[in-house]
């Protein structure tokens, strides 16, 4: 007789997963009065976020408060926090099982990482109904966000299967985060905090593991679909239902159903858990009946299996009307009976000489290996990594693979060929990605060089080669800040070439441009020893910043500059053109207000004073006696 696929280990997988989901394995007894007081006194410390910490589990730093009536708002929660009613999570465990009312969680965060003001808060449990976060800032601001599967999926900060919230954490400021969770599902609130880069890495690894698992399930599904279409054996059909239903259970419990299948239906998000459990149990019971041939080998067991199928069909229909807090515990508790009975069926049929029943035990062992890794991680016996974190998926996938092998070896060669093609395509894709990445990096480098050259050209005057007025303002503000911080003097010169319009009118604008270039070179050479900041202010005007020079020293420099301009005429097209300048001088007061605009105004007033005194002279701002120079 041909071996038919079948297993009971999916049922046990459902038990263990649902036990984790419902919080039965972590049900928390009530603390004695003395222990509760001690827990209230041992409030978790504030969590300091540094550059070395990009991802953190928050449970050691979280305190909680149970609002049994579920009526407390933010004001009441803050009052309980001030009164010390919040207490640390016992042993860092945030699983409470099915509980009435709402839970409030508190953590104080101090961001010491100045380059990461945005962090993502993630609840690593996808089935909570409603979550509300309140970020309390030192200046009294309160930022509120809501999430959970009672709201449409688009309400989440990031489209991700776990509820998540962006937190704005200004560097150096303590921020109190209060999280309210209310749910008819199990109260499980494991919280994690990520930088955007760390979350991208973690979610990538998680999506890879989940995608690998469901990819294997899809491969097995279509592989056996072909066999069923060819052989028309009912066991293949029920095996397909078994794969589909079990995959749907994990898809729902992992929050992927809400993310991809019904993101806008909060009703399905609420009902999908009991419905998928009932569907999975129907598929498992019917698959066991056909695989073990119970109608021929154990008639009583076959009747009991049919009765369980009828029970789960009725429970699935009723769960569309029953509240979540009633239907899900009933469905979860019924799984234990279903699993135990499938195990009994396998043992009885195997003892009656049906050898294919041994595949149940072999697949069961593969599943137990995966769940044992999960348990070892929970008790700290194994580190949490990619293999151990997805041990359940690996175990169930191996179990399904072993059962699929029983359906025939005829497709083994085709499967190996498909794997080779996928591997070669992946290698070729990686090579192309590396090649395109190198090309992109080179293009970005060239773009950066061009941007630097463009920036430099935008900072220079096209005629004289001096800095532009805009660049002067940026640099002079830096000089003002340095002068204030170092208590050093800083002076400003405004230079205007005398009667320059006459030069343009008599000799033409080209000659005028040559005179401007000559004046710019002369001024630059005269000011070079003083570390001056020189720019063309506009037309025939120049502006100079003199760091470290007070008014008297700046007046001497200005007089020296005036003499340089007047001592040697500008030569242009065989003509000698005398160019003189009027110069206004102003020393900045480090304590005066008004900034650079006020300083330029004072220097401009000094320039107009020089023009009023006959030009070709140096003058300070009005109200200051000019220095006697030459």
Task: Write out the E strands in 303-448.
Answer: none
- pLDDT tens for each residue of 388-406: 556 667 767 776 776 666 5
| pLDDT greater at residue 433 or residue 349 | 349
The two tokens of residue 377 are: 């991680």
Least confident of 1-5, 166-170, 260-264, 544-548: 1-5
- Do the beta carbons of residue 86 and residue 36 sit within 8 Å? no
10 phi and psi angles, rounded to 5 deg? -60, -40
Label residue 629 by pLDDT band (50, 70, 90).
very low
- 177 pLDDT higher than 90: yes
Distance of CA 224 to the CA centre of its chain: 40
- With H, G, I as helix, E, B as strand and everything else as coil, classify residue 263: coil
Label residue 413 by pLDDT band (50, 70, 90).
very low
- With H, G, I as helix, E, B as strand and everything else as coil, classify residue 7: coil
The two tokens of residue 148 are: 């959970």
| 105 strand-pairing partners | 64, 179
230 shares its domain with 366: yes
Residue with structure tokens 């109904």? 129
Confidence at residue 3, expressed as pLDDT on a 0 to 100 scale: 38
| pLDDT greater at residue 26 or residue 59 | 59
Tell whether 345 is covered by a domain: yes
* Rounded CA separation 392/6 (Å): 18
357 shares its domain with 415: no
- Do the beta carbons of residue 535 and residue 471 sit within 8 Å? yes
Q: Which long-range contacts (CB under 8 A, 24 or more apart) does 68-76 make?
A: 68/100, 68/101, 69/101, 70/100, 70/101, 70/102, 70/182, 72/102, 72/104, 74/134, 74/142, 74/178
- 248 pLDDT higher than 70: yes
Q: Beta strand pairing status for 102-111 and 47-49? A: parallel
144 shares its domain with 213: no
Tell whether 50 is covered by a domain: yes
- 517 pLDDT higher than 60: yes
* Rounded CA separation 496/619 (Å): 12
443 shares its domain with 349: no
Residue with structure tokens 């090649």? 435
Give the residue-averaged pLDDT of 404-431: 62
Tell whether 198 is covered by a domain: no
Tell whether 89 is covered by a domain: yes
Any idea what the CATH number is for the domain that residue 140 is in? 2.60.40.2380
Rounded alpha-carbon distances, angstroms, from residue 313 to 15, 185, 281, 442? 19, 22, 9, 62
Task: Give the DSSP H or E segment for 177.
Answer: strand 174-182
Least confident of 22-31, 139-148, 427-436, 559-568: 22-31
Q: Which of 130, 153, 187 is the last residue of a domain?
A: 187
- 16 pLDDT higher than 50: no
Residue 466 DSSP label: P
| pLDDT greater at residue 332 or residue 272 | 272
- 493 pLDDT higher than 90: yes
Confidence at residue 552, expressed as pLDDT on a 0 to 100 scale: 92
* Rounded CA separation 147/135 (Å): 15
Q: Which domain holds residue 417?
A: 411-458
| pLDDT greater at residue 239 or residue 578 | 578
Confidence at residue 103, expressed as pLDDT on a 0 to 100 scale: 92
293 shares its domain with 431: no
Tell whether 393 is covered by a domain: yes
133-146 per-residue burial string, b: 16 or more CB within 10 A, e: under 16: bbbbeeeeeeeebe
Average pLDDT of the chain to the nearest whole number: 78
Confidence at residue 175, expressed as pLDDT on a 0 to 100 scale: 92
The two tokens of residue 9 are: 């280990």
- pLDDT tens for each residue of 201-227: 888 777 777 777 788 778 877 877 877
Label residue 181 by pLDDT band (50, 70, 90).
very high
* Rounded CA separation 356/367 (Å): 18
Label residue 37 by pLDDT band (50, 70, 90).
very low
* Rounded CA separation 490/542 (Å): 17
Angle subtended at Cα 521 by Cα 519 and Cα 524, rounded to the nearest 5 degrees:
105
Least confident of 270-274, 374-378, 381-385: 374-378
- 307 pLDDT higher than 90: yes
107 shares its domain with 161: yes
Confidence at residue 136, expressed as pLDDT on a 0 to 100 scale: 92
| Upper half-sphere CA count for residue 394 (Cβ side, 13 Å) | 14
Give the residue-averaged pLDDT of 141-170: 87
235 shares its domain with 106: no
234 shares its domain with 292: yes
167 shares its domain with 85: yes
Q: Which of 121, 152, 187 is the last residue of a domain?
A: 187
Number of domains in the chain: 4
Least confident of 20-34, 281-295, 538-552, 590-604: 20-34
- 620 pLDDT higher than 90: yes
430 shares its domain with 333: no
Confidence at residue 460, expressed as pLDDT on a 0 to 100 scale: 80
End-to-end, the C-alpha distance of the chain in Å comes to 122
Confidence at residue 239, expressed as pLDDT on a 0 to 100 scale: 77
Tell whether 247 is covered by a domain: yes
| 193 strand-pairing partners | 56, 121
Q: What is the pTM of this model?
A: 0.50
Any idea what the CATH number is for the domain that residue 546 is in? 3.30.70.270
Tell whether 330 is covered by a domain: yes
- pLDDT tens for each residue of 430-484: 778 788 877 787 777 777 666 655 665 567 887 888 888 888 888 988 898 888 8
355 shares its domain with 338: yes
- With H, G, I as helix, E, B as strand and everything else as coil, classify residue 322: coil
Helix 9-22 to helix 391-405 angle (10° resolution) is 160
What is the secondary structure of 370-408 as a DSSP string? HHHHHHHHHTTSS---HHHHTHHHHHHHHHHHHHHHTT-
| pLDDT greater at residue 612 or residue 44 | 612
Give the residue from 136, 130, 134, 177 showing the smallest Cα distance to 155: 130
Any idea what the CATH number is for the domain that residue 342 is in? 1.20.1070
What is the secondary structure of 197-241 as a DSSP string? HHHHHHHHHHHHHHHHHHHHHHHHHHHHHHHHHHH--HHHHHHHH
310 shares its domain with 384: yes
- 576 pLDDT higher than 70: yes
| pLDDT greater at residue 254 or residue 505 | 505
Tell whether 599 is covered by a domain: yes
* Rounded CA separation 540/145 (Å): 59
495 phi and psi angles, rounded to 5 deg? -120, 130
Angle subtended at Cα 181 by Cα 179 and Cα 186, rounded to the nearest 5 degrees:
140
């Amino acid at each position: 007789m041909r071996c038919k696929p079948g297993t009971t280990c999916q049922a046990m997988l459902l038990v263990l997963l649902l036990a984790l989901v419902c919080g039965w394995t972590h049900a928390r007894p009530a603390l004695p009065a003395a222990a509760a007081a001690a827990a209230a006194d041992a409030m978790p410390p504030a969590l300091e976020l540094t550059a070395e910490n990009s991802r953190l589990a928050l449970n050691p730093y979280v305190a909680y408060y149970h609002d049994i009536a579920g009526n407390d708002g933010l004001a009441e929660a803050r009052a309980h926090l001030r009164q010390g009613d919040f207490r640390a999570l016992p042993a860092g465990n945030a699983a409470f099982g099915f509980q009435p009312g709402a839970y409030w969680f508190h953590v104080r965060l101090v961001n010491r990482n100045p380059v990461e003001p945005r962090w993502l808060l993630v609840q690593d449990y996808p089935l909570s109904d409603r979550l509300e976060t309140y970020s309390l800032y030192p200046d009294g601001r309160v930022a509120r966000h809501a999430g959970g599967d009672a709201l449409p999926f688009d309400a989440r900060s990031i489209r991700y299967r776990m509820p998540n919230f962006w937190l704005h954490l200004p560097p150096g400021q303590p921020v109190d985060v209060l999280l309210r969770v209310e749910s008819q599902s199990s109260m499980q609130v494991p919280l994690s905090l990520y930088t955007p880069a760390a979350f991208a890495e973690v979610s990538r690894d998680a999506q890879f593991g989940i995608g690998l698992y469901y990819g294997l399930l899809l491969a097995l599904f279509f592989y056996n679909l072909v066999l069923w279409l060819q052989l028309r054996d009912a066991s293949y059909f029920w095996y397909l239902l078994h794969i589909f239903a079990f995959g749907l259970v994990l898809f729902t419990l992992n929050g992927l159903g809400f993310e991809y299948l019904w993101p806008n239906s909060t009703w399905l998000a609420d009902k999908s858990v009991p419905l998928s459990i009932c569907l999975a149990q129907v598929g498992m019971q019917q698959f066991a009946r056909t695989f073990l041939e119970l109608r021929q080998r154990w008639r009583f067991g076959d009747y009991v299996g049919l009765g369980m199928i009828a029970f789960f069909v009725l429970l699935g229909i009723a769960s569309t009307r029953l509240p979540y807090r009633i239907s899900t515990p009933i469905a979860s508790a019924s799984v234990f009976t279903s699993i135990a009975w499938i195990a009994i069926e396998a043992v009885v049929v195997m003892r009656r000489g049906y050898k294919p029943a041994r595949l149940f035990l072999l697949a069961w062992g593969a599943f137990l290996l995966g769940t044992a890794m999960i348990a070892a991680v929970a008790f700290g016996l194994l580190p949490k990594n990619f293999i151990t974190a997805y041990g359940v998926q690996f175990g169930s996938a191996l179990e399904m693979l072993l059962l699929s092998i029983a359906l025939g070896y005829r497709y083994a060669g085709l499967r190996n060929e498909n794997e080779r093609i996928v591997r070669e395509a992946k290698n070729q894709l990686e090579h192309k990605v590396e090649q395109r990445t190198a090309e992109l990096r080179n293009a970005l480098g060239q773009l950066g060089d061009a941007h630097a050259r463009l920036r430099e050209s935008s900072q220079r005057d096209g005629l004289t080669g001096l800095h532009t007025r805009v660049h002067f303002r940026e640099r002079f503000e830096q000089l003002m800040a340095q002068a204030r911080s170092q208590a050093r003097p800083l002076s400003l010169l405004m230079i205007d070439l005398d009667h320059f319009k006459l030069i343009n009118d008599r000799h033409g604008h080209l000659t005028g441009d040559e005179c401007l270039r000559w004046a710019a070179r002369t001024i630059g050479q005269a000011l070079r020893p003083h570390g001056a900041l020189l720019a063309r202010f506009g037309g025939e005007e120049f502006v100079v910043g003199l760091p470290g020079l007070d008014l008297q020293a700046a007046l001497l420099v200005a007089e020296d500059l005036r003499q340089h301009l007047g001592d040697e005429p500008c030569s242009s097209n065989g003509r000698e053109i005398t160019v003189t300048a009027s110069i206004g001088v102003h020393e900045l007061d480090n304590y005066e207000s008004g900034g650079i605009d006020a300083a330029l105004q004072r220097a401009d007033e000094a320039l107009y004073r020089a023009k009023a005194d006959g030009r070709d002279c140096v003058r300070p701002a009005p109200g200051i006696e000019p220095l006697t120079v030459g």
